[in-house]
Structure 1
């Protein structure tokens, strides 16, 4: 879908500039597991800061999984804020992986809670429909921040609902993709990207080209590379001809690697190669 007019530069332009400056599409997933990261909230904070220092130079963004911090209560929220600030100080875009979504009044409150410094983008659940998504899009467009709506996720159980056939034809997640493209169309800026992106799992590479066609202006946030089995070389169609067309999130395969710096750099190189050969 092509918007009638180009919006003022916003999240899309910011994202494109960051990807170009860093020559990276790698998102450092920060989801410290207490079974492997002892010390409660403070242990999680220290672990994430070390991961940022080690792997951050090869990345363009950090994605903080809210549940990994919320489990610690008030101390966890403080740790989240401090890790987000550390990621921003390291020159990374900060994505809050919260998957929020509710009726419009509540969505507006969620937008106010998350679409503010040092957070640059938020993951959202669009299953309540357009009136619930609208407050997020309005807040993101007004603040130069971004959103990534769940479209086709990477977990095995996603197929149970997201791949259901519709009576009108096509699959459920394809209709969600069409809606996301429409909701995000007014915010497409000079980068050719909208402030409203989409989450599409690397574990379904056969869907990537079709979803990119349905969402030509959406930056894609792609989980599932590494521990879940997704491969960088399968992701060429995701970029849509733009270096910033796709960001690839990797968590366990980087933060628990023997050398997080080397793991992040290897993924950075593989993704840039996939983009250039697409």
Structure 2
């Protein structure tokens, strides 16, 4: 039974993770962490559900001791602080946080020599299936097809394009034996000239309370193939994270993705 710690316990994603952990047979809630000064500190982690879990929300990372895995969907700076403590304590991690710079990604890779980590731009099982479908589609539609990626998220999202959109672009670029950074068109404005063959275009929309919509368009002569994923509830990320936590059971180190968790690699 994996003993699970959850970061950002009073946030929307944190609450989803707490609820899913308490409802999933074979998983146990070990610790619930929040930022210093949070009004939720000291409350039972399941108070929002109208029940008790026996696990109070705290800000002391010493609570990680004894956990098997920490699930973290916070911000890069917070996740990296948690990563350092998990490395010290030998606690595995599920990282759903996006927006890391090169140094942050390097820190995660280095920590994976000491602890087991699953990191993914998106923990949804459906989205990770889409990554596989995109790889297949890109290999078939590799001549005469233009690729455009359109994503939309809620108005509070602070990064663009989304990590999931970037991962979709990377899936296509890998299938073409290319580096995404070399062929991506991140934005367009003004007189841009004709579209360059072999590039991948991105468009980011923000508004309302959209959880996450992603469409990859393969536009060719006389036809258009679109692969779309739409999230209607954040529970998909929580369920995928718990699946990843169970995957890490018994693993002492290594860096894995949701493709590994789902057996798609």
Which structure ranks higher in relative contact order (CA pairs < 8 Å, sequence separation ≥ 6)?
1
Structure with max Cα Rg: 2
Higher helix content, 1 or 2: 1
TM-score of the superposition, structure 1-length normalised? 0.30
Higher strand content, 1 or 2: 2
TM-score of the superposition, structure 2-length normalised? 0.32
